[in-house]
Amino acid sequence: MSKVIFQIEGGAPVVMEANAGDNLLELARRANVAIDAPCSGNGSCGKCRVKLLEGELEGGKTRHISEAEYAEGWRLSCACTVSGDVTVLVPDIASAYQSRMKTADLSTGKEVAIFEALQADLRQSGISFDNTFRAVELILDAPTLDDTMPDNERISWALREKLGVSHVEEPYEVMVKLAHTLRENSFHITAKGELQGDTFYLMDVTSPEDRDLIGCAIDIGTTTVSMVLVDLNSGKILAKGSSGNGQIRYGADVINRIIEQGKPGGRKKLQDAIVKETLTPIIANLCKSAGLSARSILRLCVGANTTMNHLFVGVDAESVRMEPYIPSFFSWDGLKAGDLHLPAHPLAKVLVAPNIGSYVGGDITAGAFASLIWDKDEFSLFIDLGTNGEIVFGNRDFLMSCACSAGPAFEGGDISCGMRATDGAIEACVIDKATMEPNIRVVGEPGQKPVGICGSGIIDIISELFRCGIINAKGLFVREGARVQRDHHGMGRYVIAFPAESATEREISINEVDIDNFIRAKGAIFSAVDILLQSVDMDVEAIDKVYVAGGIGSGINMKNAVNIGMFPDVDLEKFTYIGNSSLSGAYAMVLSDEANAKVEEVAKNMTYMELSTHPGYMDAFVAACFLPHTDAARFPSSKQEG
């Protein structure tokens, strides 16, 4: 037996006994050590790198490791076997994901346009943007020997007068600072709180200048977290940002995370990963960039899938995964920021957009709300492309929904050169059929060299490779050329950027495993649409509108997505990309009490269909795992150019 020590970056070492010949990645998995391996260990993605610190390993030298890197000790863990005692350094996936934290530049208006448009549309649909939060300026009489009213009665009396309420609730958090705040500001203060019927729920007392009433809308995705801070009075977006979900170290998908949270101390670990390690730094960052105190955040709203909701709240998610798939809650309005130690006012309510099933959560109810499909006569298809893909179909009369496991491919995961749609991402691509040379568009300033490929870029590349006859319907390379290369196993890849053309001086390419992963992801989406339409006895002709949501990026080319059989083959004019609709829905909910009520109503009227137990789903999925489909007649617009 040999001893293998996994020295996790920024963590405690994990020691495992191993036999000579044991695969290092397999061993890491048994030891519960998270190594980023989207290709599941077939050597294609090149992401499962570890660094040899002591001892030796067999193998581990692949095309993904340069000579220089190999000399430094870098090895691909899936390609190594144990041959004796060894210590390896494991990069921390979560910190890598977190380091992708990004604060949006609001100066151009581009980042906020989608929210402004949504607000206008919702108002059109009769949703008012009112809420009950108030910042009330009070100029009180200072007490004297003849006016000995205690502080709390003094402020309560003034608020009753000013707001016309009969009762003022005074929580502990206000009471402990009241005497000081009143005297420091010579009895001229701001009282912040929430008006509900006949009662004013006092939340804070501050200096007269501080009148901030801030709302925080959050989309907690399995892979990515996004957030906006809004002014609860004006609805204005004050800051916007995103980051990776720190839970990634406990698994790429919800199932692995549920398993992790079920282990001793797991719930706390998973909750800390999202609350302390992910949300807390983003909120701090956004508050700083907007010049706000986190204590001014008086309401939060979260759009997240059912598992993310449970892990965020710290509620056991085991029963989400196990038959009969019963979550602790769909809807719940008892959560406060202080319960989770979120950096916000401790009494701030945390609204969770309602889940409707174990795998259709608040991100979808919030998103479907933001798509406005519930207010239309025409039949709409809503497709959210996340780590899970969720589909909703219907109109003002009915809404059907289902979920499928697509994996992280749409956000650039599971793809060897994949990345999110940020600076350096190849977001669009056209290939010259004759020369096979690519013409790419890269996110960022003009002249930005490519770093990797985001979801919309992958769709384009695969579609173009297929159109140009470079790959066949199974996704295998069938033409040769300068840009089509093969490794020593014969696995083909298409080089979009040679090292000299890329920002990182490493090749950017897409290989057969990447394409296979992506075909499975798009197959999962299309077959879910297929089954959902079947279930209501309709077919693609019935679709009036298709709303595509998710982090895939606004660069998505619908024609190419249809071309590869990802979306149903309908008139391209029917497609609209609506971005992160979960965040948009949360934005509306945090600002508008009517939006809140409407999301609850949309959720109540939405029927959930469990695909995993559906008899036809597996066949439909297998049939969809081709370009464009085994039944090509279903995609008349898709053809390979002769």
Q: Which residues bind a copy of itself (CB under 8 A)?
A: 143-145, 147-153, 169-172, 174-176, 178-180, 183, 313-316, 318-319, 323-332, 334-336, 339, 357, 613
Closest distance of CB 184 from a copy of itself, Å: 11
Single-letter residue type at 306? T
Helices (H) and strands (E) in the chain, counts: 19, 27
- Torsion sign, CA atoms 620, 621, 624, 630: negative
Q: How far is the CB of 204 from a copy of itself (least distance, A)?
A: 13
- Following CA atoms 333, 335, 337, 340 in sequence, which dihedral angle do they give, to the nearest 10 degrees? -150
Contact 39, 513 (CB under 8 A): yes
Question: Closer to a copy of itself at the Cβ: 16 or 203?
Answer: 203
Q: Is 314 exposed, middle or buried (0-12, 13-18, 19+ CB in 10 A)?
A: middle
As a whole number of angstroms, the distance between CA 550 and CA 470 comes to: 29
Phi, psi of 132 (to 5 degrees): -105, 15
Q: Which is nearer to a copy of itself, 280 or 560 (CB)?
A: 280
Q: Which residues pair with 471 in a beta bridge?
A: 477
- Structural tokens at position 642: 């002769």
Q: 129 or 332: whose CB is closer to a copy of itself?
A: 332
Q: What CA–CA distances, in Å, run from 562 to 411, 458, 572, 634?
A: 18, 13, 9, 11
The nearest distance, CB 159 to a copy of itself, in angstroms, is 14
Least separation in angstroms between residue 283's CB and a copy of itself is: 19
The nearest distance, CB 163 to a copy of itself, in angstroms, is: 18
The minimum distance between CB 209 and a copy of itself, in angstroms, equals: 22
Distances (CA, A) of 303 to 45, 54, 577: 31, 45, 18
> Which spans in 90-171 are helix H?
93-98, 110-124, 151-163
Q: Of 316 and 600, which has the nearer Cβ to a copy of itself?
A: 316
Distance (Å, whole) CA 562 – CA 553: 16
Residue (240 or 349) nearer to a copy of itself, CB:
349
Q: Which is nearer to a copy of itself, 218 or 578 (CB)?
A: 218
3-state secondary structure of 445: coil
CB of 141 or CB of 423, closer to a copy of itself:
141
Per-residue tokens: 610: 């469990």
Q: Write out the two tokens for 403.
A: 């979920």
Q: Closer CB to a copy of itself, residue 319 or residue 485?
A: 319
Find tokens 């999962």 and name the residue: 524
Q: In this structure, what token pair is assigned to residue 367?
A: 């998103």
Q: What is the DSSP secondary structure assignment for residue 448, as one 8-state letter?
A: P
In angstroms, give the least distance from the CB of 448 to a copy of itself.
46
Smallest separation (angstroms) from a copy of itself to the CB of 261: 12
φ, ψ of residue 607 to 5 degrees: the values are: -95, 135
CB nearer a copy of itself, residue 107 or residue 144: 144
> In the complex, what is the shortest distance from the CB of residue 151 to a copy of itself, in angstroms, rounded to a whole number?
5
Q: State the nearest-atom distance from the C-beta of 340 to a copy of itself, in Å.
A: 8
Ramachandran assignment for 211, one of left (phi > 0), alpha (psi -120 to 50 degrees), beta (any other) = alpha
Contacts of 192 (CB under 8 A, 6+ apart): 133, 134, 135, 136, 202, 203, 204, 205, 206, 211, 213, 296, 298
Q: Which is nearer to a copy of itself, 94 or 298 (CB)?
A: 298
Q: Which is nearer to a copy of itself, 154 or 483 (CB)?
A: 154
Quote the tokens at residue 502.
């890329």
Q: CB of 417: closest distance to a copy of itself in angstroms?
A: 41
Contact yes or no for 453/465 (Cβ under 8 A): no
Q: How far is the CB of 457 from a copy of itself (least distance, A)?
A: 39
End-to-end, the C-alpha distance of the chain in Å comes to: 59
| Structural contact between residues 588 and 119, judged by C-beta atoms closer than 8 angstroms | yes
Nearest distance in Å: CB 606, a copy of itself: 14
Nearer to a copy of itself, 272 or 501 (CB): 272
> What is d(CA 293, CA 289) in angstroms, rounded to the nearest whole number?
11
Angle between helices 455-467 and 512-535 (to 10 degrees): 100
Q: Which is nearer to a copy of itself, 151 or 411 (CB)?
A: 151
- Contact predicate 369/586, CB 8 Å: no
Of 56 and 339, which has the nearer Cβ to a copy of itself?
339
- Residue by residue, DSSP assigns 264-283 as TTHHHHHHHHHIIIIIHHHH
Least distance from a copy of itself to the Cβ atom of residue 267, Å: 8
